[in-house]
Amino acid sequence: MGIRFQVLKEDSVTLARTGIIETPHGSFETPVFMPVGTQATVKTVTPEEVVECGGKIILSNAFHLELRPGSELIRDLGGLHRFMHWDRPILTDSGGYQIMSLSPLVKINDTGIHFKSYLDGRELFFTPEEVIRIEENLGSDIMMPLDECIPYPSSKEKTRSALDRTINWLLRSIKMKKRDDQALFGIIQGGMYNDLRMEAMERVASLDVDGIAIGGLSVGEPKELMYSILECIMPYAPKDKPRYLMGVGTPLSLVEGVIRGIDMFDCIFPTRLARHGGVFTNEGRFIVTNAEFTSDSRPIDESCSCYTCKNFSRAYIRHLFKAQEALGPRLTTIHNLHYILHLMERIRESIRKDRIMELREEITYYYRKELSV
């Protein structure tokens, strides 16, 4: 079995819906946020702490894990789940975006991607087939194929080329895939061009893939442009397959994505923000290291039930950061993960009760500054 997906409830006004995805390592409800464990770890926290925060599935990166320690080593040690002590579902990203970010060290053609390792300068060559081999070694539950990620803005000619190459690579990935216990999603590219996005959706939806991933958004474009692209293509996404918006994870973007039909999200932002002292709350976000919190005895969020908020004050957490103690980023990471994963619970409950637009209004009020980010 790869995965099984079932829609449980559709909102009466928007494209929002709840569902359940079953995998060989357990099931999870959608809409879902996947904490990012790029290097086989969610930075600063243990797997048990991710579970305590509400984590059901995490994302790891095949590109980084192939460079270090190597997918064959992970395979020989029992696979990624055993290697990182995580017995729940894992999605692996191919690393296409990360490879492209190495430019000008990258050379791309229809065969694959030539690049130099950022670790030791080795000359490497990734093909769609090689990426599938790596991900099958890792044994993740859901695999992302190699795709060509382009910067924003890009010309229509360059965007067309990346779209065609991404779909050709997907066809090769489908042919290469051998394991029946792993799912493979197809990635929709097309930049900021509605007609190319629509074409990509039609072409990918016609293929034998287990889900649809929307790539190439949240790459620097205005949020409203991202939302307009989703409004254009999501009504035409297959209803019987999960839909994954790659690289999105701010509170307002999660709600806005859900009402446009997205089922799955991931993003490094909540944990990266935490490591720099930034925290989400039910009344917006702030920086806990600011001087105004020097003697503040309140928890980060008085309405939060996470380990951090039940035990520590803003003043103490600020002190930890100022003293460069590792516990500081750990505590803020635990809080931000709890906040985001609890927000997804609230989103699912609001869909079940046909109140998603009420929740959207609340989150917009407290996170409206995101609209200009």
pLDDT digits (tens, 9 = 90+) for 259-298: 999 999 999 999 999 999 999 999 999 999 999 999 999 9
Q: Give the per-residue pLDDT at 238.
A: 98
Is it the case that residue 370 has pLDDT exceeding 80?
Answer: no
Q: In percent, how much of the chain has pLDDT > 90?
A: 94
- Assign 244 to helix, strand or coil: strand
Q: Give the per-residue pLDDT at 1.
A: 62
Q: Which residue has the tokens 């904490």?
A: 35
Contact in structure between 348 and 310 (CB atoms under 8 Å): no
Q: Give the per-residue pLDDT at 372.
A: 47
Tell me whether residue 147 is one of the annotated catalytic residues.
no
Strands 142-143 and 90-93: parallel
Provide mean pLDDT across the span 199-228: 97
Provide mean pLDDT across the span 31-59: 98
Look at residues 143, 8, 16, 18 and name the one whose alpha carbon lies nearest to residue 89.
143
Q: What angle do CA 293, 299, 301 make, to 5 degrees?
A: 105
Contact in structure between 93 and 131 (CB atoms under 8 Å): no
Res. 357 pLDDT band, cuts 50 70 90: very high
Is it the case that residue 322 has pLDDT exceeding 50?
Answer: yes
Full-model pTM: 0.97
Catalytic residue among 11, 93, 147, 263: 93
Catalytic residue among 11, 147, 263, 266: 266
Look at residues 50, 40, 30, 31 and name the one whose alpha carbon lies nearest to residue 271.
50
pLDDT digits (tens, 9 = 90+) for 204-213: 999 999 999 9
Q: Give the per-residue pLDDT at 104.
A: 77
Provide mean pLDDT across the span 48-76: 98
Provide mean pLDDT across the span 71-79: 98
Strands 17-23 and 4-10: antiparallel
Q: How far apart are CA 47 and CA 316, in angstroms?
A: 25
Q: Give the per-residue pLDDT at 371.
A: 59
Question: What are the φ and ψ backbone dihedral angles of 248, each rounded to 5 degrees?
Answer: -120, 130
Least confident of 53-67, 116-130, 335-349: 116-130
Tell me whether residue 195 is one of the annotated catalytic residues.
no
Contact in structure between 57 and 90 (CB atoms under 8 Å): yes
Q: Give the per-residue pLDDT at 373.
A: 42
Domains of the chain: 4-273+337-372 (3.20.20.105)
pLDDT digits (tens, 9 = 90+) for 144-154: 999 999 999 99
Provide mean pLDDT across the span 31-41: 98
Q: Where are the alpha helices (DSSP H) in the chain?
A: 47-53, 62-67, 71-76, 80-83, 96-100, 128-138, 156-176, 194-205, 223-233, 251-259, 269-275, 307-311, 314-322, 327-352, 356-367
Contact in structure between 275 and 43 (CB atoms under 8 Å): yes
- Whether the ω angle into residue 89 lies within 30 degrees of 0, i.e. cis, is no
Q: How far apart are CA 188 and CA 199, in angstroms?
A: 9
Q: Give the per-residue pLDDT at 225.
A: 97
Is it the case that residue 236 has pLDDT exceeding 60?
Answer: yes
Provide mean pLDDT across the span 119-133: 95
